[in-house]
Amino acid sequence: MAEARTAGRLGIIAGGGQMPRLVADAAVAGGRAVVILAMSGFFDGNAGPHPLVLMSPGQVSALFGALRRYNCREVLMVGEMRRPRLRDLQVDFGIIRQLPLLFGVKGQGDDGAMQRLTQVFESQGFQVVSLRDVAASLAAPLGLIGRKCPSEKAALSISFAFDLLAALSPFDVGQAVIIHRRRVLALEGAEGTNQMIARIGDLRRNGRFAVAPPSGILVKMPKISQELRNDMPVIGELTLEAARDAGLEGIAVAAGGVAMSDCGALSRCADEAGLFLVGCDRDGRWAPA
């Protein structure tokens, strides 16, 4: 712990969901000291034993002040955070100073926005680190995660889906897709993965997807251009519940590129739901050829 203090704390800028707490736990287990800077209106978890500072997303000067007060050199953004409306922000002077850098955020893909935010932190002397740097144990492993194994047909679909998501990468969109065989049922835009999964139920009800469940595979990978430092895609128990409710066959994620809220719990959850859950390489393979 003495070493950790010398190296400075990790400032975890925390949005919604359970990831911020899990990342804090993993970082501490890895020998770091942390502080959770919880964004009001987004953070909805509990900080457990970790020090917590509640902040407004618009109070940039206060954020930098808190980071310095806690002797943070590294920062990590994690958890769900929507783009706030400007009129909802309680701004301080710090944000005005950052406007030239932040100005480009509006109307760009998530990737562009994240790069700008990274520049803002770096211009203030903070290093933006990745989930993999501080909590590698949360990244999906390569191979079967649950007990159920994808069929040979599913393997072909998964490979097709990885190619599709790679083709979308330059356009800064598309972390997830749902396919059956080579038919694309749903593509993720700005709605979020769970909302996209819910559409499969609609497609079944209105007859546009008439194959009996379980059918349809969710494939999720980070954009190739994506700065994994800031915005690693995540799956959690809600994802698995949504997939089960939509009658899907299973889930394939990019090993090392998608974070899992709790690997052991998700594995059990997949088994109970009858879903396969597998971490794949960029070609969609989960086992040596």
Of the candidates 167, 225, 272, 283, which one interacts with its own copies according to CB under 8 A?
Answer: 167
Amino acid at 208: R
Q: How many residues at the interface with its own copies, by CB under 8 A?
A: 45
Residue choice 58, 141, 192, 201 for contact with its own copies (CB under 8 A):
192
Q: Is 40 in the site for its own copies (CB under 8 A)?
A: no
How far apart are CB 101 and its own copies at their closest, in Å? 17
Least distance to its own copies, CB of residue 280, Å:
18
Place of tokens 């393997």: 155
Residue 172 is a binding residue for its own copies (CB under 8 A): yes
3-state DSSP assignment of residue 120: helix
Tell which residue, 232, 202, 198, has the closest CA to residue 218: 198
CB 219 within 8 A of CB 168: no
Q: How far is CA 117 from CA 5, 26, 240, in A?
A: 26, 24, 31
Contact 245, 216 (CB under 8 A): no
The Cα 36–Cα 75 span in angstroms is: 10
Cβ at position 174, least distance to its own copies in Å: 7
Q: State whether the Cα torsion 66-70-75-81 is positive or negative.
A: negative
Q: Quick one: 121 or 209, whose CB is closer to its own copies?
A: 209
Query: In 3D, which of 259, 10, 281, 252 has the Cα closest to residue 132?
Result: 259
Q: Which is nearer to its own copies, 216 or 257 (CB)?
A: 216
Note whether 51 binds its own copies by CB under 8 A: no
Helix or strand holding residue 67 (H, E): helix 60-69
Residues 202-241 that bind its own copies (CB under 8 A): 202-203, 206-211
Site string for its own copies, 67-106 (x = CB under 8 A): ---------------xxxx--------------------x
Could you list the residues that contact its own copies (CB under 8 A)?
Answer: 82-85, 106-110, 112, 160, 163-164, 167-168, 170-174, 177-178, 180-192, 195, 199, 202-203, 206-211
